[in-house]
Structure 1
């Protein structure tokens, strides 16, 4: 199993969350088996997303998807997300 930690700043959490909640099918199709969203206590627009995958190759393919990048742009992600994979 591979666990991905995705840390990024968003312009507005509520706007970001609306888009995030629409991409469940994309996540499932991309191999996400579990997901959770967390906000920094003192900075609610600093978001940590945790996704579980069967393996690192599936995770890497998911993060390379053009439709994922488009959804992140549409949701107001600021800058380049920090993506870390753990096994």
Structure 2
């Protein structure tokens, strides 16, 4: 199992969340097994998202999708996100 963590700041959580929720079908069609969204306790616009995949290859392919890149541009993300992949030990 591969998990992708993405942490970024957004300009407006509610607006970002609408864009994120609009990607559910893209997630399902591209190997996302489960997902979760977390907000910092100190800053609701500091968001960490996790997506689980069966393989690292599926995770990497998902991260290259143009639909995902487009959503990140229109979702109000500020700066470059921090992204890392982990394998369940």
Residue 74 of structure 1 and its aligned partner are, at CA, apart by: 0.8
Residue 67 of structure 1 and its aligned partner are, at CA, apart by: 1.2
Residue ranges of structure 2 left out of the alignment (5+ in a row): none
- The CA deviation string for residues 25-68 of structure 1, in whole angstroms up to 9 with x for no partner, is 01111110000000000011000001100010100010011110
Please identify runs of 4+ aligned residues in structure 1 that moved more than 2 A: none
Residue ranges of structure 1 left out of the alignment (5+ in a row): none
Residue 5 of structure 1 and its aligned partner are, at CA, apart by: 0.7
Instruction: Tell me how many residue pairs correspond in the alignment.
Output: 87
Taking structure 2 as the reference length, the TM-score comes to 0.94
Q: Which residue of 2 aligns with 1:30?
A: 30
